[in-house]
Amino acid sequence: MRTLKRICVYCGSSAGARPVYAQAARELGRMLAELGIGVVYGGGRVGLMGILADAALEAGGEVIGVIPRSLQEKELGHGSVTELHVVETMHQRKEKMADLSDGFITLPGGIGTLEELFETFTWLQLGFHEKPVALLNVDGFYQGLTTFVRHLSEQQFLKPEHEACLIVEDSPHALLERMESFTPPDLGKWFLPSLGADVR
């Protein structure tokens, strides 16, 4: 039985420098639609966001956008999605997207995309949700980032068990399989092995 009914996808409002990024967004949108999984995203009609939404819609999928009013007033919102929620702030946008979703996938993108990824990853680390958080490492796009996350773990700023919670795959099919079987560790952020105490 499929546990992921809707997946939030974070991605760039630009299409990026290489065609492979648009190809990945198109493939992911189409795949999710064909599997009957709804897409929740930032509501834009441009860049990878628009490509993702259009592909899912063309394949008959549900697409829910969430966009701040300031961006909607600049006519950046997608006019053909299944639902478009207009909110007042970026914080409300992220909260709404998370509430509507059963998991999170990050495609290539810029600073805003990274901010969304790491906030969602932090919420998982702190136990604010237990939903899978995943990176689609399109043609090695996130290799430097995953290396740095490993560095955080090696320097003891991130538990290895929490590092392992970030699902990373090159293939959208492999990524989704791991997301479907994801079980979060019940460790707590502030467990101190040297003291033998949990100070959450």
**Beta strands, E only, the chain:** 6-10, 38-41, 63-68, 83-87, 104-106, 133-136, 166-169, 191-192, 197-198
In-domain check, residue 128: yes
In-domain check, residue 158: yes
Tell the residue number behind the tokens 């919102």, with chain if given.
Answer: 77
In-domain check, residue 72: yes
pLDDT at residue 121, rounded to an integer: 96
Note down the domain range covering 146.
Answer: 6-198
Q: Are 107 and 136 in contact (CB under 8 A)?
A: yes
The domain spanning residue 50 has which CATH number? 3.40.50.450
The number of folded domains in the chain is 1
In-domain check, residue 87: yes
Q: Which two tokens stand for residue 197?
A: 């105490």
Burial 114-143 (b: 16+ CB within 10 A, else e): eebbbebbebbbeeebebbbbbbbbeebbe
| Whole-number Å distance between alpha carbons of 53 and 165 | 27
Q: Which two tokens stand for residue 13?
A: 């409002």
| Percent of the chain that is helix, strand, coil (3-state, to 5) | 40, 20, 40
In-domain check, residue 104: yes
Crossing angle of helices 111-125/90-99, nearest 10°?
50
In-domain check, residue 174: yes
In-domain check, residue 153: yes
In-domain check, residue 1: no
Q: Are 26 and 53 in contact (CB under 8 A)?
A: no
Q: From first to last of the 200 residues of the chain, give the pLDDT tens digit.
A: 568 999 999 999 999 999 999 999 999 999 999 999 999 999 999 999 999 999 999 999 999 999 999 999 887 899 999 999 999 999 999 999 999 999 999 999 999 999 999 999 999 999 999 999 999 999 999 999 999 999 999 999 999 999 999 999 999 999 999 999 999 877 655 555 544 444 33
